[in-house]
Amino acid sequence: MKITIAMIKELRAATSAGVLEAKKALEKSGGDYDKAVDILREKGAARAAKRSDRSANEGLIEMYTHPGDRLGVMLELNCETDFVARTEEYKALAHNLALHIAAMSPQYLTREDVPQEALDREVEVLKSQALADGKPAAIVEKIVAGRISKYYGEICLLEQPFIRDDSITINEMLLDAIRRTGENIIIRRFARYELGEEI
């Protein structure tokens, strides 16, 4: 399939990839737009991994208060330079993350942050449920492993699907921002407050 300039422009508009990157991704995917996007995402992830060891001490604190003032979020989003932290794209990313946290109420940033006792308790509950449903003991472990993965997706911010586009996770959204800015970007910490909740 012939790769046209219009195809390259469309892919660049969606991904902010360079002209040559977009052209190569389209050639590699045989002109398939969705596959080309995936190829560019994978490349972005590889680049992001190279940048992950770079220091990210700049950034901003984003505060979001839900209408009615009964719910609020505070988020620290770090990057490498003050220049990137002042861009509208970076501020929009921070706002979208705070909005997502308000809506989805993640408890932890990553699966590594989940306390072992909470994980053990969840595994026991899931095993009991699977056995109560009459599942054979031989496949209970596989069922529990699948459900634990889903559990992480519910409680860990980086694994949650983004509320405005559930085809990408928060981690993929960060990797895309890293690819676009060329800097390491990390969520340092966040807190979600809801009026009247148990402390």
Which residues lie across from 189 on neighbouring strands? 76
In sequence order, which residues have a C-beta less than 8 Å from that of residue 85 and are 6 or more positions away?
58, 59, 60, 79
Reading the block at residue 128, the tokens are 């009991």
Residues whose CB falls within 8 Å of the CB of residue 35, separated by 6 or more in sequence, listed in order? 28, 29
- Token representation of residue 116: 């072992």
- The pLDDT score that the predictor gives to residue 161 is 95
- Angle between helix axes 33-51 and 5-15 (nearest 10 degrees) is 40
162 in Cβ contact with 168 (< 8 Å): yes
> Is residue 189 a contact partner of residue 109, using CB atoms and an 8 Å limit?
yes
Fold held by 115-155: GTP Cyclohydrolase I; Chain A, domain 1 (1.10.286)
Q: What is the pLDDT of residue 143?
A: 82
pLDDT confidence of residue 104: 95
Amino acid, res. 37 = V
Please give the torsion angle defined by the CA atoms of residues 101, 107, 108 and 112, in that order, rounded to the nearest 10 degrees.
-150
Superfamily of domain covering 5-51 = Ubiquitin-associated (UBA) domain (1.10.8.10)
- Cα–Cα distance measured from residue 84 to residue 76, given in angstroms and rounded to the nearest whole number: 15
* Nearest one of 195, 13, 193 to 105, comparing CA atoms: 193
Q: State how far the Cα of 77 lies from the Cα of 59, in Å rounded to an integer.
A: 6
What CATH topology corresponds to 58-109+156-194? Answer: Tetrahydropterin Synthase; Chain A (3.30.479)
Reading the chain (199 residues) residue by residue, the pLDDT tens digits are 788 888 887 777 666 667 788 888 888 888 888 788 778 777 765 555 555 566 778 999 999 998 888 999 999 999 988 899 999 999 999 999 999 999 999 999 998 999 999 888 988 888 888 777 777 777 878 888 888 888 999 999 999 999 999 999 999 999 889 888 888 899 999 999 998 876 6
Phi/psi region, residue 30 (left: phi>0; alpha: psi -120 to 50; beta: rest), is: left
What integer pLDDT is reported at residue 29 of this predicted model? 87
Write down the domain spans for the chain: 5-51, 58-109+156-194, 115-155
Q: Which structure tokens are listed for 149?
A: 């993965």
